[in-house]
């Protein structure tokens, strides 16, 4: 008699019901664990590439998002479980979105303002080479995208701006992202969001106040990206490394008597 072949979705559900797994999700999310587990099942059912991955590995990657309390709904853009091919085998991988970084930064209570956005033709007025000050007060002339910026302002008055032109972002992606050339990678399907993530993560990693959560997220994000080499990227995948070459910064000094750097 042939052994019963279990469907991948059944393996996923049984893994999620394992007492040790349920406990980990409860510890991370408390009363919200049930809703998050349901979102894992919905994500798995709706992604044909993810269904080719080991269900147990999918659960373990989803747990990384749960420990950061970030939803994995693709439409929200906080975090994703990305399927990719490694040595002929489909593997799931947790990856951060730029909105996830904003969420984690807000939780620290150290940021008064945090923002990342697109810069259109005409909006960038001038860059002061000596001070690094950047003026975006120009009037938008067209929908042509010239670059991307990220900005943080701490509650103690310290602030910093990072700007990268679209050409610099493209050069960065071509140099560091093995998935950039793939037609179904996130760099092709959602370039603007990937660009804003690149600028924001670079800014936070060098000048932001980093909580344990943020350091864990960055470590996982960079580690995940470094593991994606020349394998086939199935969807939403990216690889990027922190780089501050050829970028512009703006620093605004706090009022007299205030500390100039974030207090750790």
46-88, pLDDT tens digit by residue? 888 899 999 999 999 999 999 999 999 888 889 888 887 777 7
Q: Are residues 112 and 242 in the same domain?
A: yes
pTM of the model: 0.74
C-alpha–C-alpha distance, residues 58 and 15, integer Å = 10
Domain range for residue 175? 98-252
Dihedral angle over CA of 111, 112, 116, 118, nearest 10: -170
Question: Is 183 a domain residue?
Answer: yes
Domain termination residue (choose one: 54, 80, 96): 96
Residue with tokens 């997220």: 217
Question: Is 88 a domain residue?
Answer: yes
Q: Are residues 120 and 205 in the same domain?
A: yes
Q: DSSP letters of 64-123?
A: HHHHTT----TTT-SEEEEEEEETTEEEEEEEE-HHHHHHHHHHTT-EEEEEEEEEETTT
Q: Are residues 104 and 230 in the same domain?
A: yes
Q: Are residues 102 and 160 in the same domain?
A: yes
Q: Are residues 78 and 181 in the same domain?
A: no
Question: Is 233 a domain residue?
Answer: yes
Q: Are residues 32 and 161 in the same domain?
A: no
Q: Domain total for the chain?
A: 2
Residues 97/189, Cβ–Cβ less than 8 Å: no
Q: For every one of its 264 residues, what pLDDT tens digit does the chain have, with 9 covering 90 and above?
A: 455 667 888 889 999 999 999 999 999 999 999 999 999 999 999 888 899 999 999 999 999 999 999 999 888 889 888 887 777 788 888 888 889 999 999 999 999 999 999 999 999 988 777 766 788 989 899 999 999 999 999 999 999 999 999 999 999 888 777 667 766 567 777 899 889 999 999 899 999 999 998 898 888 777 766 555 444 444 444 444 333 333 444 444 444 443 333 332
Assign 152 to helix, strand or coil: strand
Tokens representing 4 are: 């019963």
Q: Are residues 160 and 41 in the same domain?
A: no
Q: Are residues 145 and 247 in the same domain?
A: yes
Question: Is 3 a domain residue?
Answer: no
Question: Is 261 a domain residue?
Answer: no
Question: Is 264 a domain residue?
Answer: no
Q: Which residues are paired to 83 by β-bridges?
A: 92
Q: Are residues 211 and 133 in the same domain?
A: yes
Q: Are residues 47 and 132 in the same domain?
A: no
Q: Are residues 157 and 227 in the same domain?
A: yes
Domain termination residue (choose one: 96, 128, 163): 96
Q: Are residues 129 and 194 in the same domain?
A: yes
């Amino acid at each position: 008699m042939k052994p019963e072949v279990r469907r991948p979705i059944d393996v996923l559900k049984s893994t999620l019901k394992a007492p040790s797994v349920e406990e980990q999700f409860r510890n991370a999310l408390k009363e919200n664990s049930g809703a998050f587990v349901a979102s894992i099942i919905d994500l798995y059912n709706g992604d044909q590439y993810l269904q080719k991955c080991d269900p147990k590995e999918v659960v373990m990657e989803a747990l990384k998002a749960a420990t950061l309390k970030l939803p994995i709904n693709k439409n929200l853009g906080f975090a994703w479980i990305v399927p990719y091919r490694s040595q002929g085998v489909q593997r799931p991988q947790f990856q951060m979105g730029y909105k996830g970084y904003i969420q984690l930064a807000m939780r620290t209570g150290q940021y008064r303002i945090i923002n990342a956005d697109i810069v259109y033709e005409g909006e960038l007025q001038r860059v002061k080479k000596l001070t690094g000050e950047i003026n975006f007060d120009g009037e938008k002339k067209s929908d042509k995208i010239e670059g991307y910026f990220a900005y943080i302002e701490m509650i103690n008055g310290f602030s910093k701006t990072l700007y990268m032109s679209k050409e610099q972002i493209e050069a960065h992606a071509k140099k560091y992202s093995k998935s950039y050339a793939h037609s179904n990678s996130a760099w092709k399907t959602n370039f603007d969001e990937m660009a804003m993530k690149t600028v924001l993560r670079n800014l936070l990693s060098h000048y932001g106040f980093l909580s344990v959560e943020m350091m864990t997220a960055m470590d996982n994000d960079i580690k995940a990206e470094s593991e994606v080499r020349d394998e086939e990227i199935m969807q939403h995948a990216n690889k990027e490394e922190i780089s501050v070459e050829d970028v512009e910064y703006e620093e605004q000094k706090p009022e007299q008597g205030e500390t100039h750097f974030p207090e750790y």
